[in-house]
Chain A
Amino acid sequence: MATKLSETETITPVAQPKKARQKSANITERWMLMPSVILLAIISFIPLFYMIYSSFMNYMINPDQPTFYHFHNWAVTFHDSAFWLSWGRTATYAISGLVLEFLLGTALALAIYRLPWGQNIVTTIWMLPLFVAPIVTGLLGRFLVNSTYGLYAWVLQLLGVHTEILGNTLTAMPALILMDMWEWTPLITIIVLAGLQAMPEEPLEAADVDGAHYWDKLRYVILPLIARPLLVAVLVRSMDILRYVDTIMITTEGGPADATKTIGYYLVQIAFQFQDFGRAAAVGLTMLVITILIGQLFVRAFTRGEQQ
């Protein structure tokens, strides 16, 4: 207690003028940050509050003059089995997509890192799908797996698989996951590869001198060294996989028989097909809460990593 008191006593007189100095020194920065903060506030807080407001309003009878609806939208949302099923599908889609992209992306980064030459050219070709618009990915996917004239469907038919892939409840979701993998696995690879290239050499050399097997080296030296880029890759992807609906909008529209109706597409349907904006707002808020929670989880993981 006594030490604590003396601490504050010594800090206060020093901290006071320093704070004042910082404030005046920050004037230029404040002015330069202001426009971004104002615009960001307009595009984030106003829509957010509007969404909270909308979730308590009834837009169905007279969309121009919504009336107060109490918790009706929320009650309907949480009692709708389609809402929970959509979240379930989203979890399947996101988790299997993330795991597969993470494993393939990391494995490929490790492979590229071992190449004696041509690392740059391989990476360049591998990252091409990143530049493709998600809607083009969807169109291409539809074209390639079409059972009558698709290239991939043709290959599968040679292997004995005959089905309309996007029209089959069993195969539609895996096909969408594969499209997502095609487009975004390169992102994981280049982040991890950048981490590998920034790795210090000494620990690896020490492991080589000790005659460590590659798997031991990977497990005990390489992976711990690239933990941060790995975490970043998962963070960026886990949020983006919830973010985009483009591919689903152009390929299956949630079908067949709702097999690919993720929460994002469920929202799009309620809002823009059924025009039930109040209920859609409630669904949108649940999506926002989940993404912010994931974000906070990762921020925690990061600050813990930095403190160590």
Chain B
Amino acid sequence: MNNTAVATKRHASLSLILVYIFVVLALIWAVVPLIWMILSSLKTQAGMFSMPPKFFFKPTFQTYHIMFSSTGHFGHYLLNSVLASVGSTLISLVLGTLGGWAIARGNFKREKDISFWVISTRMAPIPAVMLPLYLLFSKLGLIGTMVGLIFAYTTFNLPFALWIMMTFFKDIPPALEEAAMVDGCTKFRAFYRVTLPMAAPGLVATGILCLMFAWNDYAFASVFTSTASQTVPVAASLLVSQQGIQWGQAMSTGTVIMAPMVIAGLFVRKYLVRGLSMGAVK
């Protein structure tokens, strides 16, 4: 009896060691590309390509200088990226919050159909969505405009915001709104004053995810923008040419694209799980 207990204990600690090894290997796999990107962005051209790779070196901010110097249009692209992603996030968040609450509280006959419609809009393949939008936009003269890009991003952000906000509102008991209505509030006022503040963390997480999807988009932006309306991911892709790739610039551009999303994502980490899993983990 005692012997088996010792054996089980030894077995448990051995398996825990294996668990540790597995987790550490996975973490190395996850972060090495990111660390390598940041390190490479701080290297000189020669240092970047040296073989065997250099792990210790004197950092230089040359590529960042070039990126933001007056010759490049990076600042302009950055502004486009901010405008398009913030614009589409705001529209999606406002409409998604109102609509999400309505689906969560209302008594719609075809709620299941509405839900499925919403989610299938979000999950439609990007190339399949891109094509009809491109044809419509070229008829309406929206190619190369900010309005067009904001509209394009809203095709995936609105259904997402609707769905997630609906699941957040379903978690908040309607009793509080009912109490407010007994006290004389209208339904909308009860939603606005009582439920909305309670859903604020969900609202922030949804907003950050919408921002991230729009900010990271390349496919839509590559088709719907012209030189003047290019976004940062498109700018990064332009560093790839027939003659080769400007790797130094590509690595610093990649770092600049990634940094704000990582910071924002970690900031609302707690609520992201629900957002990324479309609210279905319960």
Contacts and interface: CB of A to CB of B under 8 A. Distances in A.
Given A131-B262, A191-B277, A47 B133 contact: yes
B117 A182 contact: no
7 closest residue pairs by CB, A with B = A29-B106, A36-B99, A47-B132, A133-B216, A284-B128, A33-B102, A239-B123
Q: How large is the interface on A (under 10, 10 to 19, 20 to 34, 35 or more residues)?
A: 35 or more
B155 interface: yes
28 contacts: A26-B107, A32-B99, A33-B103, A39-B154, A44-B155, A47-B136, A54-B131, A54-B132, A107-B22, A125-B30, A128-B262, A131-B212, A133-B254, A139-B254, A143-B250, A148-B49, A149-B49, A149-B51, A154-B53, A191-B276, A232-B277, A239-B123, A240-B123, A245-B219, A264-B126, A271-B127, A271-B131, A287-B127
Q: Is the interface of A mostly helix, strand, loop or mixed?
A: helix
Contacts of A32: 98-99, 101-102, 188
B26 interface: yes
Contacts of A75: none
A46 B36 contact: no
Contact of A295 (B52, B53, B116, B216): B116
Contacts of B130: 268, 271
B198 to A, nearest CB: 17
A214 interface: yes
A250 to B, nearest CB: 6
Given A194-B277, A250-B218, A264-B125, A131 B258 contact: yes
B40 interface: yes
A18 to B, nearest CB: 10
B159 interface: yes
A291 B124 CA distance: 7
Interface in A213-270: 214, 228-229, 232-233, 236, 239-240, 242-246, 249-250, 264-265, 267-268
B106 A128 contact: no
Given A51-B131, A124-B266, A129-B34, A250 B237 contact: yes
A267 B128 contact: yes
Contacts of B281: 191, 194-195, 198, 228-229, 232
Which residue, of A29, A265, A296, has the highest number of chain B Cβ atoms within 10 A?
A29
Interface in B99-125: 99, 101-103, 105-108, 114, 116-121, 123-125
Interface in A145-175: 148-149, 151, 154
A141 B159 CA distance: 31
Contact of A29 (B102, B118, B128): B102
Interface of B: 15-16, 19-20, 22-23, 26-27, 29-34, 36-37, 40, 48-53, 95-96, 98-99, 101-103, 105-108, 114, 116-121, 123-136, 151, 154-155, 158-159, 162, 186-188, 191, 212, 215-219, 222-223, 233, 236-237, 240, 245, 247, 250-251, 254, 257-258, 261-262, 265-266, 269, 272-274, 276-278, 280-282
A136 B254 contact: yes
Interface of A: 22, 25-26, 28-30, 32-33, 35-37, 39-40, 43-44, 46-48, 50-51, 54, 104, 107-108, 111-112, 114-116, 122, 124-136, 139-144, 148-149, 151, 154, 182, 186-187, 190-191, 193-195, 198, 214, 228-229, 232-233, 236, 239-240, 242-246, 249-250, 264-265, 267-268, 271-272, 277, 280-281, 284-285, 287-288, 291-292, 295-296, 299
A284 B98 CA distance: 32
Given A108-B26, A243-B125, A267-B131, A291 B120 contact: yes
Given A54-B131, A125-B27, A182-B29, 13 more contacts: A30-B106, A32-B101, A40-B121, A44-B124, A47-B136, A132-B261, A133-B258, A143-B37, A187-B277, A191-B281, A229-B280, A267-B131, A281-B132
Contacts, number: 280
A291 B34 contact: no
Contacts of A271: 127, 130-131, 134
B277 A33 contact: no
B95 to A, nearest CB: 5
A227 to B, nearest CB: 12
B95 A39 contact: yes
B245 A142 contact: yes
A139 B272 CA distance: 26
A124 B272 CA distance: 11
A173 B136 CA distance: 34
B209 to A, nearest CB: 10
Nearest to B279: A232
A244 B127 CA distance: 8
Given A132-B34, A228-B280, A246-B218, A214 B123 contact: no
A126 B124 CA distance: 27
